[in-house]
């Protein structure tokens, strides 16, 4: 017995090691295969899913019912040229609170079925001059009151409504891209090639949702009129964890970020709200509150993927940080 | 002078151009068709795969196609302008080159808009431009201008063809296919060269000449306004319209000189296209190149001097990334032609043609430097990691289609020259008739 | 046991794979890692009905942001007094984990001597989930909101009282209350205060636009009070000073219809050019006619 035991234990050890190697290899392949399967499912589903706990104690995924109860009577392209009556929408972005969480970008991309690199609202890093600290600058479409994009469209595919919103009708757009060259804020993007998501026929197209997009046409931020018709904030405002984006109606003079509701005129007057590139005469409808008394240090915003930090490599501040080796 | 005898002489002189095609010419045609086929294949690929196989992306949304468009349309408008002005000159020299200029005008105006079509994302919706036009848009103005101008230049070209068609129709032993003879007959619309017919034709030609000059200027201005009525730095310039007119004339005269040289050489027309034509065109090119250099200098000097932030960014891009293109386009492209053309001793036919080539190439680069760098330096900095979204690099598709356009231009030119003699025979006869009358001392001036 | 496992390495490795594959998913699917949250609240609404609401949500112990609502579980609402139990209703939780029961104004409650209503929400539990229960005790607060002009000053008046066993009105004391205006997407707070001696009044702001008909929807809300729970009341007044931002309805560069002068200029230019073309073509036709006539003569 004594003699047998050591050899038995060493062979057991060997067997255990072999078991460990085999199982780790199969774990790796198995999970990668399985996760691919799960990810594929998420992409082919048309509605959003949410996780719930059943009475039997199992966590399952069901269709989220309340995400977008867009009216059953779809707003057709012809109807979408009239705005929501008696409203004049306006957005206020508080630069003092933005820390580049990018939840606004992601919320918008989810709602409009955009790819990773397609951004209706972009977060830029702007440094006004060498002495100033740069600030994070979320930039949606400004829905200007004197829109240069609408002026130059030869077919009237982009239009300004009475409720201040500038929409794109992708069924009228011929893709001449004149509007892209004439927007001074670079707010518009073009669909350059074939994409599978264009073939999605389950959802009828409305310029108010912009889904499904069409190849060879323009798309941009639309202030989510489908959300507004349901009395909800646009997706970017809903998704922001810091309450940076306020949205409301100038006629009511009230804007809200989901938690705070304030008088629009009071907010602009007290916090010195301004509009970007005012001197160009476009009369934008997105106001910015200056980045004073910031809630977060600027470095908090660099806590993102490296390829996103690479975007800002031309900003002087980022160059300094790179030189000092902090990024 | 016996007019009919003179006509027969001229036909004998020019009919070989219509009847025979040399081996070299045939090889050329084959080569041009090959280039065009490559271009058509590239177009097919672009239709199938979408615009993402070109170099254009979300910031630089306009690339080589638009540059070719404004280049060719510029040549056309300047051709129209020169044609109209030439009409009012008296002298035997204008006839030799008048038809060349008119043909260049019409052909460029056909090839140019084809490039715009390549840039449009949804070609299947082109009719929306006519169903839902917005007249506040500079593109709508441009479409109206191009269409109107194309029809006008076509009619004008045709007016000069009519007497020649009549002469060719009346020639008995012309060795051309029968269908061609029938076409001559139909297109000559019964022109018998009677005095009243001649007078009528000359009257409408004169009115059209005035109209062509006016249309060329208006249409050209509208094209420039597509750029200068936007807010972009580098485009929003008050002098863009006259700048474009001068730039178009620059390339137009250059292309005319090159065509004169090639046609003269190929068909051995030294008797008609003489050195005096080249010297005349060369002097015009000299004046225009001085004006062009002046306008270009005004544009960039004002930007540099007043150093607005966006202008400085644009100039930085021009002088760093596009440094050699800038030197070629705006220094060499202007100074070399001026140097060659300024000195009498240097003005030979060869050197003038060389100056014209430099001028045309320099101008194309100048158009490139107007369109692309502005789109690469927008007001809101491009913060993107994908290099194709930050800088523009044209792909082979765009180059293939550009060369196909040039090849189509040359091919159509060759085919027209086989249809109608490149020197207007009726023009020569009119000129000789005029000189005779002057010799006879009558005051009746037939232009 | 160990020996047996090691004898069949392939099968055991599959077992280990399954075990690991569950754990390597970013999202948890194991109930034991979640803490159950069973929150019970009550709101007296402006039509004097009472809303009982349970929010049944499980939170991941390791990741507090991972919240999973409990769906389709049965929640029973009771009104208890000493030993008496009155079942008020049974509701299943929604996909958001919310179970709501609305009791009408004339619902009779069992109240104790002090006037408190004892309410219990109960989840009886299942094979895998433990039973949950929550209890709140509220007094029925009557809240009235009046918007009137007193001495031509627009005032908002609130009176708050409870009714005791004898039917007497007892004024509420020391109750914090907030006032809101309804906006398109949310409510904006205009006043905060504390009810004393059964009432609260304040001067109503006069610069609020309201909706297109000058209507203002005012809400008075008591939130999370220890004695009374949530109480809301609302009232409408035509005190808005709506002035529509009237953008001059002139035709501009970006409107659907262009300014008139553009049409005029374009028409004049085009008519001029095309008239010339027509004239040219007419003359060409005349030339042809003359040629044909000559031919006939010959």
- Which ipTM did the prediction report? 0.89
| In a shared domain, residues B413 and B363 | no
Give the confidence band of A18 by pLDDT, cuts at 50, 70, 90.
Answer: low
Residue B144: inside a domain: yes
Q: Which residues of C touch B159 (CB under 8 A)?
A: 280, 284
Residue B252: other Cβ atoms inside 10 A: 30
| In a shared domain, residues B301 and B259 | yes
The predicted pLDDT at position B342 comes to: 92
Q: Tell whether C254 lies on the interface with B, counting CB pairs under 8 A.
A: yes
Interval B350-406: pLDDT, tens: 999 999 999 999 999 999 999 999 999 999 999 999 999 999 999 999 999 999 999
Q: Which residues of B touch C281 (CB under 8 A)?
A: 155
| In a shared domain, residues B37 and B115 | yes
Contacts of C138 (CB under 8 A, 6+ apart): C42, C116, C117, C119, C227, C228, C229
Under DSSP, is residue B322 helix (H, G, I), strand (E, B) or coil?
A: coil
The predicted pLDDT at position A64 comes to: 65
Residue A9: other Cβ atoms inside 10 A: 10
Contact B252, B325 (CB under 8 A): no
The predicted pLDDT at position A36 comes to: 41
Q: Which residues of A touch B141 (CB under 8 A)?
A: none
How far is the C-alpha of A210 from the C-alpha of A111, rounded, in Å?
Answer: 10
Q: Tell whether B276 lies on the interface with A, counting CB pairs under 8 A.
A: no
Residue B387: inside a domain: no
The nearest alpha carbon in chain A to B135 belongs to: A154
Residue whose token pair is 């002189």: B13
Mean pLDDT computed over every residue of chain B: 92
For residue C125, the distance in angstroms to the closest alpha carbon of chain A comes to: 8
Backbone angles phi, psi at C119, to 5 degrees: -120, 140
Interval C246-293: pLDDT, tens: 656 778 889 888 999 999 999 999 999 999 999 999 999 999 888 888
Give A27-77 as a DSSP string: HHHHHHHHHHHHHHHHHH-SS-EEEEE-TTS-EEEEE-SSS----SS---T
A272 exposure class (CB count in 10 Å sphere: 0-12, 13-18, 19+): exposed
Q: Which of B352, B378, B404 is the last residue of a domain?
A: B378
The predicted pLDDT at position C17 comes to: 55
- Percentages helix, strand, coil for chain C (3-state, rounded to 5) are 20, 45, 35
Residue B66: inside a domain: yes
Interval A220-244: pLDDT, tens: 999 999 999 989 999 999 999 999 9
The nearest alpha carbon in chain B to A125 belongs to: B383
Give the confidence band of A44 by pLDDT, cuts at 50, 70, 90.
Answer: very low
Q: Tell whether B159 lies on the interface with C, counting CB pairs under 8 A.
A: yes
Identify the chains in contact with A, defined as 3+ C-beta pairs within 8 A.
Answer: B, C
Q: Which residues of C touch B187 (CB under 8 A)?
A: none
Residue B82: inside a domain: yes
Interval A145-191: pLDDT, tens: 999 999 999 999 999 999 999 999 999 999 999 999 999 999 999 99
| In a shared domain, residues B216 and B351 | no
How far is the C-alpha of C175 from the C-alpha of C227, rounded, in Å?
Answer: 9
| In a shared domain, residues B213 and B238 | no
The rounded Cα C191 to chain-centroid distance in angstroms is: 21
| In a shared domain, residues B306 and B421 | no
Give the confidence band of A29 by pLDDT, cuts at 50, 70, 90.
Answer: very low
Rg (CA), chain C: 37
Residue B169: inside a domain: yes
Alpha-helical runs (H) found in B377-395: 387-390
Contact A51, C68 (CB under 8 A): yes
Contact C272, C254 (CB under 8 A): no
- Cross-chain residue pair A181–B62, CB shorter than 8 Å: yes
Contact A189, B58 (CB under 8 A): yes
Report residue C42 as tokens. 């009550």
How far is the C-alpha of B293 from the C-alpha of B363, rounded, in Å?
Answer: 11
Contact B213, B85 (CB under 8 A): yes
- Cross-chain residue pair C183–A59, CB shorter than 8 Å: no
Report residue B275 as tokens. 């050195």
Residue B258: inside a domain: yes
Contact A238, A232 (CB under 8 A): yes
Beta strands in B333-384 (DSSP E): none
Question: Looking at the partner chain, which of A52, A66, A252 has a beta carbon nearest the beta carbon of C209?
Answer: A252
B89 exposure class (CB count in 10 Å sphere: 0-12, 13-18, 19+): exposed
Q: Which residues of A touch C74 (CB under 8 A)?
A: 55
Residues C176-205 have a mean pLDDT of 91
B37 or A197, higher pLDDT? B37
- Cross-chain residue pair C295–B190, CB shorter than 8 Å: yes
How far is the C-alpha of B235 from the C-alpha of B375, rounded, in Å?
Answer: 10
Strand partners, C189: C180
Under DSSP, is residue C188 helix (H, G, I), strand (E, B) or coil?
A: strand
Residue A48 has pLDDT above 90, yes or no: no
| In a shared domain, residues B306 and B215 | no
Give the confidence band of C241 by pLDDT, cuts at 50, 70, 90.
Answer: confident
Q: Which residues of A touch C213 (CB under 8 A)?
A: none
Residues C138-161 have a mean pLDDT of 89
| In a shared domain, residues B247 and B299 | yes
The predicted pLDDT at position C126 comes to: 82
Residue A326 has pLDDT above 80, yes or no: no
- Cα three-residue angle C33-C39-C43, rounded to 5 degrees: 160
The bridge status of strand C169-171 relative to strand C153-163 is: antiparallel
Report residue C93 as tokens. 């939780």
C93 or A38, higher pLDDT? C93
- Among A124, A192, A301, the residue to mutate for chain B (most B Cβ within 10 A): A192
Report residue C37 as tokens. 């949250």
Instruction: Provide the domain count of chain B.
Output: 2
Residues C117-123 have a mean pLDDT of 89
The predicted pLDDT at position C82 comes to: 83
Nearest to B447 by CA among B90, B83, B7: B90
Give the total residue count for chain C. Answer: 298
| In a shared domain, residues B100 and B40 | yes
- Cross-chain residue pair C283–B208, CB shorter than 8 Å: no
How far is the C-alpha of B192 from the C-alpha of C289, rounded, in Å?
Answer: 11
The predicted pLDDT at position A33 comes to: 44
For residue B263, the distance in angstroms to the closest alpha carbon of chain A comes to: 38
Under DSSP, is residue A92 helix (H, G, I), strand (E, B) or coil?
A: strand
For residue A25, the distance in angstroms to the closest alpha carbon of chain B comes to: 36
Q: Which residues of C touch B207 (CB under 8 A)?
A: 276, 279-280
The nearest alpha carbon in chain B to C282 belongs to: B204
The predicted pLDDT at position A2 comes to: 44
Question: Looking at the partner chain, which of C10, C186, C256 has a beta carbon nearest the beta carbon of A256?
Answer: C186
Whether residue A212 is preceded by a cis peptide bond, meaning omega within 30 degrees of 0, is yes
Interval A241-292: pLDDT, tens: 999 999 999 998 999 999 999 999 999 999 999 999 999 999 999 999 999 9
| In a shared domain, residues B92 and B30 | yes
Report residue C285 as tokens. 């036709």
- Among B133, B187, B190, the residue to mutate for chain C (most C Cβ within 10 A): B190
For residue C276, the distance in angstroms to the closest alpha carbon of chain B comes to: 8
Contact B212, B80 (CB under 8 A): yes
Nearest to C50 by CA among C59, C41, C58: C41
Contact A126, A288 (CB under 8 A): no
The nearest alpha carbon in chain A to B136 belongs to: A151
Q: Tell whether A112 lies on the interface with C, counting CB pairs under 8 A.
A: no
The predicted pLDDT at position A3 comes to: 45
Nearest to B363 by CA among B338, B388, B394, B328: B328
Residue B443: inside a domain: no
| In a shared domain, residues B127 and B1 | yes
| In a shared domain, residues B98 and B165 | yes
Q: Which residues of A touch C28 (CB under 8 A)?
A: 59
- Which domain, by its residues, includes B421? 1-229+396-434
For residue A118, the distance in angstroms to the closest alpha carbon of chain C comes to: 25
How far is the C-alpha of B362 from the C-alpha of B115, rounded, in Å?
Answer: 20
For residue A114, the distance in angstroms to the closest alpha carbon of chain B comes to: 15
How far is the C-alpha of A106 from the C-alpha of A121, rounded, in Å?
Answer: 9
The percent of residues in chain B predicted with pLDDT above 70, rounded, is 98
Report residue A190 as tokens. 């073009």
Q: Tell whether B126 lies on the interface with A, counting CB pairs under 8 A.
A: yes
Nearest to C176 by CA among C218, C228, C116: C228
The predicted pLDDT at position A5 comes to: 47
Residue stretches of chain B with pLDDT short of 50: none
Strand partners, B226: none
Contact A287, A275 (CB under 8 A): yes
DSSP at C47: T
Residue C91: other Cβ atoms inside 10 A: 20
Residue whose token pair is 């639309």: A222
Residue B179: inside a domain: yes
Residue C10 has pLDDT above 80, yes or no: no
Q: Which residues of C touch B192 (CB under 8 A)?
A: 290-291, 294-295
């Amino acid at each position: 017995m004594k003699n047998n035991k050591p050899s038995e234990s060493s062979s057991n050890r060997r067997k255990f090691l072999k078991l460990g190697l085999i199982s780790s290899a199969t774990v790796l392949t198995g999970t990668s295969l399985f996760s691919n399967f799960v990810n594929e499912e998420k992409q082919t589903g048309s509605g959003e899913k949410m996780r719930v706990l059943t009475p039997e104690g199992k966590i399952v995924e069901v269709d989220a019912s309340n995400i977008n109860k867009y009216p059953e009577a779809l707003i057709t392209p012809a109807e979408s040229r009239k705005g929501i009556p008696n409203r004049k929408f306006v957005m206020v972005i508080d630069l003092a609170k933005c820390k580049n969480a990018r939840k606004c970008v992601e919320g918008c991309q989810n709602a409009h079925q955009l790819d990773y690199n397609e951004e209706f609202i972009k977060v830029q890093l702007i440094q006004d001059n060498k002495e100033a600290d740069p600030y994070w600058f979320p930039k949606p479409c400004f829905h200007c009151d004197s829109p240069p994009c609408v002026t130059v469209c030869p077919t009237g595919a982009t239009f300004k409504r009475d409720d201040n919103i500038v929409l794109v009708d992708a069924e009228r757009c011929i893709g001449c891209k004149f509007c892209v060259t004439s927007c001074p804020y670079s707010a518009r993007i073009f669909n350059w090639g074939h994409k599978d998501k264009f073939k999605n026929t389950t959802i009828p197209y409305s310029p108010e949702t912009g889904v499904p997009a069409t190849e060879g046409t323009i798309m941009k931020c639309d202030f989510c009129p489908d959300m507004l018709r349901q009395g909800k904030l646009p997706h970017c405002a809903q998704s922001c964890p810091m309450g940076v984006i306020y949205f409301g109606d100038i006629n009511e003079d009230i804007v809200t970020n989901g938690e705070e509701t304030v008088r629009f005129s009071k907010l602009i007057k007290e916090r010195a709200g301004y509009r970007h590139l005012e001197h160009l005469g476009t009369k934008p409808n997105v106001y910015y509150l200056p980045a004073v008394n910031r809630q977060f240090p600027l470095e908090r915003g660099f806590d993102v993927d490296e390829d996103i930090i690479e975007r800002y490599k031309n900003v002087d501040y980022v160059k300094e940080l790179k030189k000092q080796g902090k990024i | 002078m016996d007019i009919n005898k003179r006509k027969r002489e001229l036909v004998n002189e020019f009919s070989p151009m219509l009847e025979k095609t040399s081996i070299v010419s045939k090889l050329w045609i084959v080569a041009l068709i090959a280039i065009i086929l490559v271009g058509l294949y590239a177009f097919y690929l672009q239709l199938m795969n979408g615009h993402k196989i070109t170099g254009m992306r979300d910031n630089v949304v306009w690339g080589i196609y638009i540059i070719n468009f404004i280049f060719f349309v510029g040549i056309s408008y300047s051709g129209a302008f020169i044609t109209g002005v030439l009409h009012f000159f008296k002298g035997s020299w204008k006839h030799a080159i008048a038809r060349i200029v008119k043909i260049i005008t019409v052909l460029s105006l056909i090839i140019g808009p084809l490039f715009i079509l390549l840039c449009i994302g949804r070609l299947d919706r082109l009719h929306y431009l006519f169903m839902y036009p917005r007249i506040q848009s500079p593109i709508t103005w441009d479409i109206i201008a191009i269409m109107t101008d194309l029809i006008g230049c076509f009619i004008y070209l045709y007016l000069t063809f009519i007497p020649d068609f009549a002469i060719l129709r009346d020639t008995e032993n012309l060795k051309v296919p029968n269908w061609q003879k029938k076409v001559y007959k139909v297109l000559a619309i019964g022109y018998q060269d009677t005095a009243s017919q001649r007078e009528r034709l000359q009257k409408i030609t004169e009115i059209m000449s005035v109209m062509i000059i006016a249309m060329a200027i208006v249409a050209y201005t509208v094209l420039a306004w597509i750029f200068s009525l936007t807010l972009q730095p580098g485009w929003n310039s008050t002098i863009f319209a006259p700048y474009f007119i001068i730039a178009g004339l620059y390339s137009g005269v250059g292309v005319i000189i090159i065509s004169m040289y090639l046609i003269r050489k190929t068909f051995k027309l030294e008797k008609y296209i003489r050195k005096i034509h080249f010297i005349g065109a060369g002097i015009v090119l000299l004046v225009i190149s001085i004006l062009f250099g002046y306008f270009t200098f005004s544009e960039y000097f004002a930007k540099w001097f007043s150093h607005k932030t966006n202008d400085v960014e644009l100039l930085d891009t021009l002088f760093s990334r596009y440094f050699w293109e800038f030197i070629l386009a705006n220094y060499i492209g202007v100074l070399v032609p001026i140097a060659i053309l300024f000195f009498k001793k240097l003005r030979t036919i060869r050197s003038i043609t060389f100056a014209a080539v430099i001028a045309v190439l320099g101008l194309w680069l100048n158009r490139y430097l107007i369109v692309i760098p502005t789109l690469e330096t927008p007001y809101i900095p491009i913060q993107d990691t994908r290099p194709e979204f930050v800088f523009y690099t044209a792909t082979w598709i765009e180059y293939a289609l550009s060369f196909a356009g040039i090849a189509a231009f040359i091919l159509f030119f060759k085919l027209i020259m086989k249809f109608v003699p490149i020197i207007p025979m009726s023009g020569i006869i009119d000129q000789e008739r005029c000189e005779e009358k002057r010799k006879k001392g009558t005051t009746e001036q037939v232009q | 046991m160990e020996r047996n496992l090691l004898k069949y390495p392939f099968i055991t490795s599959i077992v280990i794979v399954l075990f690991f594959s569950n754990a390597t998913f970013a999202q948890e699917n194991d109930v034991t890692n979640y803490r159950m949250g069973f929150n019970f609240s009550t709101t007296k609404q402006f039509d004097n009905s009472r809303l009982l609401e349970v929010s049944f949500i499980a939170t991941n112990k390791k990741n507090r942001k991972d919240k999973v609502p409990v769906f389709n579980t049965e929640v029973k609402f009771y009104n208890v007094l000493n030993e008496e139990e009155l079942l008020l209703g049974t509701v299943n939780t929604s996909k958001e984990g919310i179970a709501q029961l609305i009791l009408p104004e004339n619902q009779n409650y069992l109240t104790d001597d002090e006037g408190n209503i004892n309410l219990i929400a109960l989840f009886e539990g299942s094979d895998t989930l433990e039973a949950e229960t929550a209890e709140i005790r509220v007094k029925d607060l009557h809240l009235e909101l009046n918007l009137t002009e007193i001495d031509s000053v627009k005032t908002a008046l609130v009176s708050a009282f409870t009714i005791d066993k004898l039917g007497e009105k007892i004024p509420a004391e020391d109750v914090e209350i907030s006032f809101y205006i309804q906006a398109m997407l949310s409510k904006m707070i205009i006043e905060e205060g504390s009810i004393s001696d059964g009432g609260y009044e304040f001067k109503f702001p006069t610069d609020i636009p309201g909706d297109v008909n000058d209507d203002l929807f005012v809400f008075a809300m008591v939130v999370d009070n220890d004695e009374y729970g949530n109480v809301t009341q609302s009232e409408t007044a035509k005190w808005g000073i709506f002035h529509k931002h009237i953008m001059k309805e002139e035709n501009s560069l970006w409107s659907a219809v262009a300014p008139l002068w553009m049409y005029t200029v374009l028409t004049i230019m085009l008519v001029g050019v095309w008239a010339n073309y027509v004239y040219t073509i007419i003359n060409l036709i005349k030339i042809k006619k003359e040629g044909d006539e000559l031919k006939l003569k010959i």
